[in-house]
Structure 1
Amino acid sequence: MAHPLEDTLIARQITPTPMRLLVLDVLQKEPTALSLADVEQHLKHADRITVHRTLKTFTDKGLVHRIEDGSGAVKFALCAPACTPELHRDLHVHFFCVRCRETACLPAVPVPALALPGGYQVQETSLVVKGHCPRCAGAV
């Protein structure tokens, strides 16, 4: 009988390997987006290049999306089920807390449509809001 993590990978046409299963497990258990270094911290003895390749594979197959939040480290979060390798459908706001430096996906807050002048062709849209998360706002 297959494991739910294996099923998730197979559904995205990703061959389940021990490292891929470990990385997916980490991403599913964390409520915030994680950088490569964050994932490595969870997997004490993992090879950095293998973790990087795993995250790239997950991104290429529409399983995770990349978030550039301005912190200097690209972060990764699980995609919505509708994402495909060709088109990530995670057009939601991301929130970067300037205090704890965590980045959260806010899927209930869509990125607003922008009316660009003629001739501009959008390939990707992202919106990062910065401030204090609920936990840190209560501590201020």
Structure 2
Amino acid sequence: MEACSYLTKLSQREIKPTALRLLILKAMMQFEQAFSLLDLETYLDTVDKSTLSRTITLFLKHHLIHSIDDGSGSLKYAVCGNECNCDIDDLHVHFYCTSCQRTLCLKGIHIPAVTLPRHFSLESINYVMKGLCDHCSKG
């Protein structure tokens, strides 16, 4: 992806581009599956942890990335597509492989609609399936 594409991605989410934000976004987009803060720290070992944490918080607030609680004890993150606003209709299923411990976005599988009881108000959904990924199940 070219630098202008990263700039476009930030501007679409109304995030002021800085050299560090561009570097962090580029790193995030290198991951083929969801990544943790530790993964990002390892990949960008010259960027301090507090800068990474602040940038993740900013990116989450502007819906540039989404977070996934896969039950592993460490939040994972993935970059949202350009059309995603992190609305309920944009949410998708995540898959946690119990063998290789990767978390994958299954963007083609939407979270099933659930009718809540009267006076309940939905704030977030976390839908994670667990099992063996295609690579590990070949075993």
What is the TM-score with the length of structure 2 in the denominator? 0.90
Contact between 1:93 and 1:129, CA under 8 Å: does it hold in 2? Answer: yes
1:114 partnered with 2:114: yes
In structure 2, the gaps of 5 or more residues are none
Aligned with 2:138: secondary structure? helix
Do the aligned partners of residues 22 and 88 (structure 1) sit closer, same or farther apart at CA in structure 2, a change above 3 Å counting?
farther
TM-score by length of 1: 0.89
Q: For structure 1, which segment, 116-125 or 72-81, has the greater mean C-alpha deviation from structure 2 after superposition? A: 116-125
Change (3 A) 1:79 1:89: farther
Asked whether the equivalents of residues 80 and 89 of structure 1 are also in contact (C-alpha less than 8 Å), the reply is no
Q: How many residues align?
A: 137
* Structure 2 residue 42 is matched with structure 1 residue 57: no
Between stretches 17-26 and 47-56, larger displacement belongs to 17-26
Question: Is the Cα–Cα contact under 8 Å of residues 62 and 88 in structure 1 kept in the other structure?
Answer: no
Where in structure 1 are there 5+ consecutive unaligned residues? none
Distance in 2, matches of 1:114 and 1:88, equals 11
1:1-140 matched pairs, under 5 angstroms: 3-84=4-85, 87=87, 89-139=89-139
Give per-residue Cα distances to partners, 1:82-121, cap 9 Å, x unaligned: 3348x47531000001111111100100000112222222
Divergent runs of 4+, >2 A: 80-85, 87-90, 115-119
Structure 1 vs Structure 2: percent identity of aligned residues?
38
